[in-house]
Homo-oligomer: A and B are copies of this chain.
Amino acid sequence: MADELKLLSTWFSPFGSRVKLALHLKGLSYEYVEEEDLMNKSQLLLESNPVHKKVPVLFHRGKALCESMVIVDYIEEAFADAGPPLLPSDPYERAVARFWVAFIETKLVEPWFKMLDGTRARAEMADGVKQMLAAVATLEGALAQCAKGRPFFGGDGVGYVDVALGGLLVWVRASEVLLGGVKFIDAARTPLLAAWADRLAALDAAKAALPDFGRVIKHAMMRRGAAAAALAQSN
């Protein structure tokens, strides 16, 4: 069954990284197809995600799935017997995980895009930084609440929130450099998240799923404004 899985993404997409993380955590093998140029999209992307025309797209049994966290839900449900579950079985605990993922999407990803968008006014970008710092501070509290002293948002194992935030990790780190030294996840300000980030990055699944930090920096430096535009082509 696993060999019918095909992932279309770009090597640097943080949203593609979420899907890769989930696939590796579940131990599912897949064919990977690189979307070469998001400014000149492939026929495969245009046809498989006609609404958003964004990566990642996961193909399974010839059907296309779009939107990173919708794909993660799908992997969780279609391969329920593969690997450890990402969501707990208790409905309340599941709701807590979904609440934090919704928080990440609206309170972290949105200002983050604003912040990296070189076409916006300086004040608007500064506003994005402020909002993202506030979001990270809230997530520090969320980690304490969810993990209760255990290593991950998911508890002892990597869960739904870990995948949602973990996929973004290299880009969050890269943003710190690109913005000239703002610290989002930092041992002094967010000690729990900083330790969490180290633990997550050390996992085999993360090593396989996340892009190389140096390569992301180089890519972003080279493209600067265009990097934000390209990022905005994934969800």
Which residues of A come within 8 Å of B, CB atoms?
51, 60, 63, 65-67, 69-71, 73-74, 77-78, 91-92, 94-95, 98-99, 102-103, 138
A51: chain B residues at CB < 8 Å are 99, 103, 138
A65 CA to B95 CA in the complex, in Å?
7
Closest CB-CB distance, A10 to chain B, in whole Å? 20
Q: Which of B67, B78, B92, B138 contacts A74 (CB 8 A)?
A: B92
Asked whether, in the complex, the Cβ of A63 is within 8 Å of the Cβ of B78, the reply is: no
A67: chain B residues at CB < 8 Å are 98-99, 102
A74: chain B residues at CB < 8 Å are 91-92, 94-95
Asked whether, in the complex, the Cβ of A99 is within 8 Å of the Cβ of B66, the reply is: yes
23 A-B contacts, Cβ less than 8 Å apart? A51-B99, A51-B138, A60-B92, A63-B92, A65-B92, A65-B95, A66-B99, A67-B98, A67-B102, A69-B102, A70-B95, A70-B98, A70-B102, A71-B95, A73-B94, A73-B98, A74-B91, A74-B92, A74-B94, A74-B95, A77-B91, A77-B94, A78-B91
- Tallying the copies of this chain within the complex gives 2
Closest CB-CB distance, A105 to chain B, in whole Å? 9
Please name the residue on chain B nearest to A97 by beta carbon. Answer: B70
A91 CA to B69 CA in the complex, in Å?
13
Asked whether, in the complex, the Cβ of B78 is within 8 Å of the Cβ of A99, the reply is: no
A60: chain B residues at CB < 8 Å are 92
